[in-house]
Amino acid sequence: MERPPRHSERHLLDPAIRGALAGFARTVWSVADRVRSIPSLATRGIVRSDLGGTPDSSGRRRRDRLGSVVRRRVIDPGEQGSRWCGQKGGDEEPEDHALGRSRGGFGSKIHVVTDGHGLPLAAHVTAGQRHESTQFEEVMNAVRIGRRTRPRRVAGDKGYSYPRIRKWLRAHAIRAVIPQRSDQIAQHRGRPLQFDKATYRRRHVIECCIGWLKECRRIGTRFEKLALHFLAMIKAAIIQRYLRILDISDTA
């Protein structure tokens, strides 16, 4: 077939044409397939040292510049100094990072113990769906009051009305100021439990303390992923409050 002359070809960007017309195809160069097959891994999960090398003209295999990185991250991922081994936060960090879903939504729950004036004495963080009674012993064991390591009385709402907690308080010579639930009153046998209503009315100081903690933005809205970092921010806020109390010149 005879090819038309060169002047008859219309240019792709000719303004007089006003159309996208391609010219005649010229010589098409063949492309060599240079893709190499991926070598199989060892049966025990160890990558061979010659994985990244390519042979040169003499037949010898050249050293791959990424070979050391591959061996360090794939062959020995658990060696000392590797950033890919272990869990963030160490062994003390909970697996759920103290995050869970409850009726109030997705978040964390802060367990706090205060004195009679509302000053926080100890704090602990768990997932949002964890019940407060499950962390009673751990929070109480963290309280240190001068020479005394235990308070004389402990007030709590009906969520702490469990035989396990009352037994723990009796064992540590602490008087329980906890009201009974309605189902417990109906099923109670024996002498009725003593309940100090006047002392229980002072329990509002714990609610005031929680309200003060929520005013701190990094506590009311959690920004830390790790539970240890979030607990550290809570303790930092508690320290700040103690410093304000000790500073006489601060009227805030």
What contacts 54, CB < 8 A, 6 or more positions away?
36, 61, 62, 64
Q: Locate tokens 């714990």: which residue?
A: 206
- Please report which confidence band the pLDDT of residue 72 belongs to, taking 50, 70 and 90 as the band edges: very low
| CA distances in angstroms from 61 to 47, 51, 64, listed in the order given | 16, 10, 9
Contacts (Cβ under 8 Å, ≥6 apart) of 96: 127
Which has more pLDDT, 223 or 27?
A: 223
- How confident is residue 91, by pLDDT bands cut at 50, 70 and 90? confident
* Mean pLDDT, residues 217-228 taken together: 89
Residue 133, number of CB atoms within 10 A of its CB: 15
Position 76 scores a pLDDT of: 47
Grouping H, G, I as helix, E, B as strand and the rest as coil, residue 129 is coil
Please give the Cα distance from 131 to 126 (Å, whole number). Answer: 9
Check residue 123 and give its pLDDT: 93
CATH 1.25.40 fits 100-245, yes or no: no
- What whole-number distance in Å separates Cα of residue 148 and Cα of residue 170? 16
Three-class SS state of 23: coil
- Cα separation, 250 vs 230, in Å, equals 27
Mean pLDDT value of segment 98-118: 89
pLDDT class of 184 with cuts at 50, 70, 90: confident
Instruction: Specify the pLDDT at position 34.
Output: 52
Q: Could you state, in order of their start, the residue ranges of all structural domains in the chain?
A: 100-245
206 secondary structure, DSSP code:
H
